[in-house]
Copies of this chain bind each other. A is one copy, B any other.
Amino acid sequence: MDVYEALYTTRAMRRVKPDPIPPDSQGRILDAAIRAPSGGNAQPWRFVLVDSPEVKALLGPLYRDSMQTLWSTFYKERIDRAMADPDTPSHRSMLRVQRSAQWLADHFEEVPLFMFCFVRSGGGEGSIFPAAWSAQLAARAEGIGSALTSVLGIFHPAEVRDILGVPDDSWSNPCTVSFGYPLGRWGTAPRLPVDKVAGRNRWEGGLGFTVPEPLWP
């Protein structure tokens, strides 16, 4: 798969089939993840794949609780605003994300594979998110959907450490990736265009050149 196709069409795919992910695909996804950059090439990371029904049964309730907390705290205002006026495009997008994220919470135990990403304290989040995103791009090339979530490491870090046998709290879990064969269609997710979010030599004032048409529609 062309790298641009992967970069454009790797949208969050939370609704997935329960079919297992073949070990060869899992291996290629992991091997792509560890090629990502990290500060000083220190590779301060560790990855725990989770596919056991027993382990998912322990994590699922924590994930549902985390999402419930998220909706009723950080996202409460945005969701209330969106529900009051659901036809505004940005509100529609917010409600779509919420429904999709809630689907993942409701079906956590049916999702075939998770990758819990850990970073050593002092390693920095910038030394783990590129690896997680590389794993998602590699999964796209395998025809496997994925989504990134941070809530378990925020709301239940100690329980996650306990369940997965993480040796101590010098490791944090900034993100976890879910994987599965998609129920939905691949496509380019909506984004604010480049000329709305970029400047040249100054914050304001525009780019000074025309951005080519997106490479994927």
Question: Which A positions have Cβ atoms within 8 angstroms of B?
Answer: 1-8, 10-12, 23-24, 26-28, 30-32, 34-37, 39-41, 43, 45-52, 55, 75, 78, 93-94, 97, 124-126, 129-130, 132-134, 136-138, 140-141, 148, 150, 164-167, 174-175, 188-194, 197-204, 207, 209-212, 214-215
Contact = CB atoms under 8 A, between A and B. Distances in A.
Main DSSP-derived SS at the A contact region: mixed
B201 A55 contact: yes
B201 A7 contact: no
Given A197-B46, A200-B48, A137 B40 contact: no
A40 B126 CA distance: 19
Contact of A34 (B125, B167, B191): B191
Contacts of A136: 37
Nearest to A132: B130
* Identical copies in the complex: 2
30 contacts: A2-B2, A3-B3, A3-B5, A3-B138, A8-B32, A10-B37, A11-B37, A27-B194, A27-B209, A27-B210, A27-B212, A30-B207, A31-B194, A31-B215, A34-B192, A35-B189, A40-B94, A43-B197, A46-B198, A46-B199, A47-B199, A48-B199, A48-B200, A48-B201, A48-B202, A50-B201, A51-B201, A126-B174, A130-B133, A167-B203
